[in-house]
Each structure stands twice: as structure tokens, then as C-alpha cells.
């Protein structure tokens, strides 16, 4: 793109930003104005209806149809006052995106006219069909009944002229067809299990809430350049392209001054987020050129997940107004950092306690150790499952590279917490614990009361790191639904906490005191879960060998990683928690294998098209220029002088020929490999075939084309290069 074109784009962007309806108000004045939040509820609902609805939100009390009718009427009045004409049940199918079908607020009035209507029945439940979404065999196309049901805990919101009602999405037979349904189930399971454990320390605890704070990384690219790259348009990543001479090696983009065009985009994005009640707080440049990050204040897990899903669609819409395209692919550019979605996960009680924060006395700190150790134990027992939750065809390009944690799950605790657990494990009961009816529980080593809220350094190579008052799961990719990882983590920890309660009660029934039972169980867990604890460099080859010796899951094939969902212990864990049954788990694996196949298949088709219809013709044309040059040199020069002058064009022509032949041959082989894989009926086996026999061609073909990019005349090269794509002007 020319400098003049960039200037024109920048001027247009600035003009649109100036014309945008950015309020000249404090954020607090318009925050949540497009959300049916408690402020709107108090205004548009009766006191009785408001109390019934908030009881459902806060305590899970069921809502009857009469209350739903009153809520629907108030919600409709609020929405109509904001110019809304349609409503939709907004749900999260197994695509990592969101879905919506809009219906107008109108019904026949019986007299040839129309009236605005929205009943409790329409609010609570709909039958959106949606039979073409991935379902893993849970639904047949000819049995198209799928239901969406209102989730009162996540407030309705307005986008443009449509009222969006967050809902679950289930099959006619009751199985979950989305991420929200099992996520809510996992939150409830963890609430119950964690509350039971909290009662050992504070019987007044009534509820434990799961919190999530996500960090969304993304790339921006100019829309014209995006449109000129079929691979970006169709796969969201560059399937070919040689590295730019300068990319991220100087670290000058990281935390640098935000480019003015990007700043205007971020301002408008933040305004839209605040109106929708998304509490975004942090923005900055990331390591790679054109890479940025946005992060909110943490929220309750279900709401936070909804907000992240909403954010991804809002940021794409806002970016178009600034002549940008947002790339959420985990690795859109080779040779520079990819994008993740770090999930900061914590637990808090209704009494105001963060269960991952040390307390002021030793009993509080025993509670702290109890929840930290049980979380570590859950991660140890289900490390293969947690890896499977973040495994995908796209995230495979990112995991294990120097900007992302390795595809081996381990946990980093920091020196102080690790030392405390080691001392706890080796201490004798009479040395480390002293029971006094008047003074309560005392731990025998004094470091614990001196713990700070954030006393650990951060290990960037750890997929699951303790960061002071929370755990940070760094492995999820930037494009995924957080719910996939969170529902597994919640379920695993809930299962482990129930096991902890059972183990403690077993010892108490054998005559041990509560404190002695807790102490002995924790010592056992600390010892058993040691293999998952690793504070070193996760990128090293030595760690891969060590992890294998420790018995951690080291499988590198994405299709095989999905097998973890159907391990007997995993199935038992999900079923006992009431989160997913065997049939639902098997269906989700079918979906994951199918999505993997389609992702690789699409990339192979696009690369084949680019190779044969874009790159090879240009390479041949440039080779013809070289051969013509050789012919003209022969006409003008003779003998040694001619041979010397023609040597380089000949060498270059031979190299181009070799690359052309290699690309053509490998594209043909890739097509045949795809055909063979497509004949495999079993989805799992077909996915494995795509991983083993098709995907490798994407790298080998690219290597030849990237070499050609350095040889062919720059003016003839048909696609924008990395030096153009990676630097916003």
C-alpha cells in the first residue's frame, strides 16, 4: 500500500473517530447503560419482581412463569425506550463463537394491526432450531428441535436495535449443545464442594463464587491489506510469507506508545464495552508488531465468559469503522509471537474471603494451604484433560513457542509457597500443628502469617501459575471460548474438594481430630502432586524429558490429546459433578475432531490455490524474464564475459525451477493425502490422518514459497509482504 493510501486511511479513520458518538462524560455516567442491570431492574420492575429476580441471580432460586411475565414486560419497556425493535436469545454453540436469531417485538392485535409484544414465555424459552451447529451426533438434522433457555444470572443487553438475552442451548433430550450450560453446572458444583470445605474453617460461609479475569490478546491489520491476502481472509493466518527483516527482535513495540490510529480504535472499543457493562481496564502494545492486549477487572466466571464472547464480536465491529481487521488467530504470523487468552481464576466466599489469599492468623493460612494444595492436586490428576481443553489446530502453532507455555501442563508456585509446602510435607504433626481449644489451630512454622498477597515472580513458561491470590491458566488460545477450559478446571477442583472432604471425614471417623485429619490429608496430597510442580524453564528439552519421567501427559498430536476427555476417571469426574455425561463428552470429542479436520482441510485448500494460481504463475513469469535476460546477454556478449554475466541469472533460474517443481509436486501429494484421509469413516482416525499426513505439507510447501518470495521481483509478487502487514502507519 502506498504512503498516500496510508495517509488517506488514517485521515478517514480520524474523521470517523471524531464523528463517533463518544460521550463527553465520565465512564461512571454511562457504564452499563445498554444493560438490563440492577439499576434498570429497579426502575422497570415492581419491588416484588425485582426481589424474585435478584434472588434467582444471587441464590439460584427458580423463577416461576408469572415472575417471568413481569420481567419480560419490564425488559420490553426498557428496551423500547432505547429504540429497540427486535430481541434474540444469545447463546454459545460449540463453534467458539456466539449465535442469535432476531425476532421483532410484534404480534397481531386481532384487528388487522400489530402490537409490541414480549411475554415471559418468549423470554424464558425458545426453539431456535439451529440444527446445523456442531453437535457430535446429539441431534439429527431431521430432528431439529433445540432449545434456548434464559440465564437470569447474566443480564440482557442491547446491540444496535436488538435486545440480546443470554441463554443456554440444549437438545430436545436435555443434553448440552453449548459451553454455557456445562459452565454453569461446573460453577454450581464447585460452589457446593468449596463451601463444604470452607465450613471446616468458617461455618458461616454460605457460598463460594468462581471468578475469572481474562486477558485478550489480538492483532490488528489494515483492512485493504487483509483483503489482498486470501489466506488471512479465509483462515485468519498467513499460510505463506517470509519474515520481515525487522519484526519484534528489538522489543520496541512491547509496552511502547500506542499508534494513534490504534488509540482511536481502542477509545471507541472501550466506550462500547462500558455501555455493555464490560469492565475493561488495561490496554497496551504486546510483543509482536501490530499485537495488542485488552484486559478487564475480574468478574463472576459465567458473566466474565459472556463478556469475553461479547467483546470478541464488538471489537471486530468497531475495528471495521477504523479500517482495521481484528485477528484472533493464535498464530497469524510466522516468526513473531502468537496470541493467547490468559485466564486468571480465583475463588471467593460470601464473607469476603479470597480463598487463594493468606490470612492474618494461622487458621486462615491453613485454609489458604488447603485450597492451594487441592487445586494443585486437581491439576495433577487431570493435567491431560486441561491440556485437551486448550488443544486446537490453531493453538498448536502457538503452544510451546517462546511466547507461550509448552503443551505440557505444570504449575508454578514460586519459591516461598513451594518451600512452605515442602516443610509442611516433612514436618511431624506434633511439631507442625498444635491444637488448643482456646486458641484454635497453630502452624508450627512462622513463615505463613508473613506471606504477602503477591510474593511470587511470574514464570512465563508455566501454563498454570500461582500469582499471589489467583491461578493464571496461560494456555488457552486467543480465539477460544474461555468456558471450555473453565468448566473443566471448575469440575476438576470440585471433584478434588469432594475427595478431600471424604478423606478428612474418613480419618475423623477413625478418631482423628478435625485439625489432625486435615493435616494428614494435605501432607499426602502435597507428596502425591509433586510431579506437577515445576518452577524451571518449560521451553527446555530437558523439561520435556523430565515431564515424561514424572508421568505427565506429553502427547503432541492434537487429535490424540482429545482422548483425555474419555478417560474413565475424567468421565467419572464430570458425571459425578453433574456437569457432562458420557454421551455429551463423546459428542464434544466428535465435534473437536471434526473442527480439527475442517481447519486443516481449509488451510490445505487455500494454500494449494495460492500456490498454483498466485505464486507459481508469478515465479514462472519472473523466470521467463531471467531467461530472456540470458538470451539478450548472449546476443550482446561472448565467451568468458558472457558466461560471467549470465552465471547469476542462470543460478537464480535454476533455483526458481527447483522451487516451482517442489511446490507443484508437494501440492499434488497434499491433495492425494487429503483424498485418502477423507475416505476414512471414523472421525478420530480421519483427524489423526489429517494431522499426520496432510498438515506437514503446510510447512514444507510454505518453505519453498517463502524462498521464492526472496527471489522474485518485488513488483511482481502478488501478495502483501510481512513488512507491509506488520507495521501500522
Instruction: Give the span between the Cα atoms of 303 and 277, in whole angstroms.
Output: 10
pLDDT in tens, 9-54: 455 545 444 444 455 689 999 999 999 999 999 999 999 999 999 9
The rounded distance, in Å, linking the Cα atoms of 149 and 176 is 11
- pLDDT tens digit sequence for 461-496: 789 999 889 999 999 999 999 999 999 999 999 999
Mean pLDDT, residues 268-284: 96
Share of the chain above pLDDT 90, in %: 70
In angstroms, the CA 495 to CA 604 distance is: 41
pLDDT at residue number 208: 97
Instruction: Calculate the average pLDDT of the chain.
Output: 89
DSSP-derived letter for residue 185 is H
Cα(480)–Cα(394) distance, integer angstroms: 10
How far is CA 440 from each of CA 194, 560, 657, rounded to the nearest angstrom?
A: 21, 50, 82
Q: Of 121 and 442, which is predicted with more confidence?
A: 121
User: 289-293, 318-322, 642-646: which has the minimum mean pLDDT?
Assistant: 642-646
Average pLDDT over every residue of 257-261: 93
pLDDT at 403: 66
Query: Which value, to the nearest 10 degrees, does the dihedral of the CA atoms of residues 565, 567, 569, 571 take?
Result: 50
Q: What number of helices (H) and strands (E) belong to the chain?
A: 26, 19
> Could you tell me which of 188, 124, 172, 37 has the C-alpha nearest to residue 180?
188
Rounded mean pLDDT of 593-614?
97
> Which 3 state secondary structure label does DSSP give 547?
helix
Euclidean distance between CA atoms 471 and 35, whole angstroms: 30
Which pLDDT belongs to residue 6? 45
Please state, in angstroms and rounded to a whole number, the distance separating the CA atoms of residues 91 and 178.
Answer: 8
Q: Tell me the average pLDDT across 251-261.
A: 89
HEC string of 592-614? HHHHHHHHHHHHHHHHHHHHHHH
Beta strands 299-300 and 157-159: pairing type?
Answer: unpaired
Q: What pLDDT is recorded for position 431?
A: 52
Distances in Å between the Cα of 235 and the Cα atoms of 136, 231, 476, 597, 600 are 23, 6, 19, 13, 10
Neighbours of 146 (CB within 10 A): 23
Mean pLDDT of 90-116: 80
Is residue 450 over pLDDT 90? no
Instruction: State the Cα–Cα distance between residues 676 and 186, nearest whole angstrom.
Output: 40
Q: Say what the pLDDT of residue 21 is.
A: 46
Give the least confident one: 100-114, 160-174, 202-216, 254-268: 100-114
Label residue 437 by pLDDT band (50, 70, 90).
very low
pLDDT at 448 over 50: no
Looking up cell 462500547 gives 272
pTM (predicted TM-score) = 0.91
For range 135-156, the mean pLDDT: 73
Average of pLDDT values for 519-529? 96
CB atoms within 10 A of CB 502: 10
Cell (9 digits) for 268: 471507541
The DSSP call for residue 34 is T
CB atoms < 10 A from the CB of 461, how many?
Answer: 22
pLDDT of residue 219: 97
**Other beta carbons less than 10 A from residue 383's beta carbon:** 25
Amino acid at each position: 500500500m502506498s504512503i498516500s493510501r496510508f495517509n488517506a486511511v488514517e485521515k478517514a479513520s480520524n474523521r470517523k473517530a471524531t464523528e463517533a458518538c463518544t460521550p463527553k462524560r465520565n465512564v461512571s455516567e454511562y457504564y452499563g447503560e445498554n444493560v438490563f442491570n440492577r439499576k434498570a431492574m429497579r426502575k422497570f420492575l415492581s419491588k416484588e419482581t425485582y426481589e424474585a429476580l435478584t434472588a434467582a441471580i444471587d441464590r439460584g432460586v427458580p423463577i416461576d412463569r408469572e415472575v417471568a411475565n413481569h420481567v419480560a414486560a419490564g425488559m420490553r419497556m426498557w428496551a423500547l425506550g432505547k429504540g429497540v425493535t427486535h430481541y434474540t436469545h444469545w447463546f454459545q454453540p460449540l463453534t467458539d463463537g456466539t449465535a442469535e436469531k432476531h425476532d421483532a417485538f410484534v404480534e397481531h392485535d386481532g384487528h388487522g394491526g400489530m402490537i409490541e409484544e414480549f411475554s415471559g414465555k418468549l423470554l424464558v424459552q425458545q426453539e431456535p432450531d439451529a440444527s446445523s451447529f456442531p453437535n457430535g451426533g446429539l441431534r439429527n438434522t431431521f430432528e431439529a428441535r433445540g432449545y434456548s433457555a434464559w440465564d437470569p444470572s447474566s443480564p440482557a443487553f442491547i446491540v444496535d436495535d436488538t435486545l440480546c438475552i443470554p441463554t443456554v442451548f440444549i437438545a430436545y433430550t436435555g443434553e448440552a449443545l453449548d459451553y454455557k450450560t456445562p459452565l454453569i453446572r461446573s460453577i454450581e458444583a464447585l460452589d457446593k464442594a468449596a463451601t463444604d470445605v470452607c465450613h471446616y474453617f468458617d461455618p458461616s460461609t454460605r457460598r463460594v463464587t468462581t471468578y475469572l479475569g481474562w486477558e485478550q490478546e489480538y492483532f490488528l491489520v489494515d483492512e485493504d491489506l487483509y483483503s489482498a491476502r486470501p489466506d488471512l481472509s479465509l483462515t485468519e493466518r498467513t499460510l505463506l510469507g517470509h519474515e520481515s527483516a525487522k519484526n519484534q527482535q528489538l522489543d520496541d513495540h512491547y509496552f511502547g506508545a500506542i499508534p494513534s490510529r490504534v488509540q482511536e480504535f481502542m477509545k471507541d472499543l472501550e466506550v462500547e464495552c462500558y455501555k455493555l457493562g464490560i469492565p475493561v481496564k488495561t490496554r497496551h502494545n504486546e510483543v509482536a508488531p501490530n499485537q495488542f492486549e485488552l484486559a478487564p477487572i475480574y468478574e463472576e466466571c459465567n458473566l466474565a465468559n459472556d463478556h469475553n464472547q461479547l467483546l470478541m464480536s464488538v471489537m471486530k465491529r468497531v475495528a471495521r469503522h477504523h479500517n482495521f481487521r481484528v485477528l484472533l488467530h493464535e498464530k497469524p504470523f510466522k516468526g513473531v509471537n502468537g496470541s493467547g487468552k490468559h485466564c486468571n481464576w480465583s475463588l471467593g466466599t460470601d464473607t469476603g474471603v479470597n480463598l487463594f489469599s493468606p490470612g492474618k492468623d494461622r487458621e486462615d493460612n491453613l485454609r489458604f494451604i488447603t485450597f492451594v494444595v487441592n487445586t494443585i492436586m486437581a491439576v495433577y490428576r487431570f493435567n491431560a484433560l486441561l491440556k485437551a481443553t486448550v488443544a486446537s489446530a490453531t493453538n498448536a502453532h502457538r503452544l510451546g513457542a517462546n511466547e507461550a507455555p509448552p503443551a505440557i501442563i505444570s504449575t508454578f508456585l514460586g519459591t516461598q509457597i513451594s518451600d512452605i509446602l515442602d516443610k509442611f510435607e516433612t514436618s511431624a504433626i506434633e511439631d507442625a500443628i498444635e491444637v488448643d481449644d482456646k486458641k484454635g489451630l497453630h502452624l508450627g512454622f512462622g513463615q505463613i502469617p508473613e506471606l504477602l498477597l503477591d510474593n511470587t515472580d511470574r514464570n512465563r513458561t508455566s501454563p498454570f501459575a500461582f500469582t499471589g491470590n489467583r491461578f493464571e491458566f496461560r494456555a488457552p488460545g486467543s480465539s477460544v471460548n474461555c468456558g471450555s477450559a473453565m468448566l473443566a478446571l471448575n469440575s476438576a477442583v470440585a471433584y478434588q474438594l469432594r475427595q478431600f472432604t471424604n478423606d478428612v471425614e474418613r480419618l475423623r471417623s477413625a478418631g482423628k481430630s478435625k485439625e489432625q485429619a486435615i493435616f494428614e490429608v494435605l501432607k499426602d496430597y502435597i507428596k502425591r502432586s509433586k510431579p506437577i510442580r515445576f518452577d524451571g524453564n518449560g521451553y527446555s528439552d530437558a523439561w520435556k524429558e523430565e515431564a515424561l519421567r514424572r508421568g505427565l501427559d506429553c502427547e503432541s498430536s492434537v487429535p490424540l490429546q482429545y482422548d483425555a476427555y474419555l478417560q474413565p476417571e475424567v468421565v467419572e469426574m464430570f458425571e459425578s459433578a453433574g456437569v457432562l455425561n458420557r454421551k455429551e463428552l463423546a459428542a464434544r470429542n466428535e465435534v473437536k475432531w471434526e473442527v480439527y479436520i475442517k481447519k486443516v482441510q481449509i488451510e490445505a485448500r487455500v494454500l494449494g490455490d495460492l500456490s498454483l494460481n498466485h505464486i507459481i504463475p508469478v515465479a514462472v513469469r519472473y523466470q521467463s524474464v531471467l531467461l530472456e535476460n540470458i538470451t539478450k546477454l548472449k546476443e550482446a556478449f561472448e565467451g568468458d564475459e558472457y558466461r560471467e554475466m549470465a552465471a547469476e541469472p542462470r543460478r537464480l533460474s535454476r533455483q526458481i525451477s527447483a522451487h516451482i517443481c517442489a511446490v507443484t509436486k508437494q501440492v499434488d501429494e497434499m491433495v492425494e493425502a487429503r483424498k485418502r484421509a477423507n475416505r476414512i469413516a471414523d472421525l478420530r482416525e480421519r483427524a489423526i490422518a489429517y494431522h499426520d499426513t496432510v498438515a506437514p505439507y503446510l510447512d514444507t510447501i510454505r518453505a519453498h514459497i517463502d524462498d521464492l518470495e526472496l527471489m522474485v521481483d518485488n513488483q511482481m509478487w502478488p501478495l502483501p509482504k510481512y513488512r507491509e502487514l506488520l507495521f501500522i502507519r
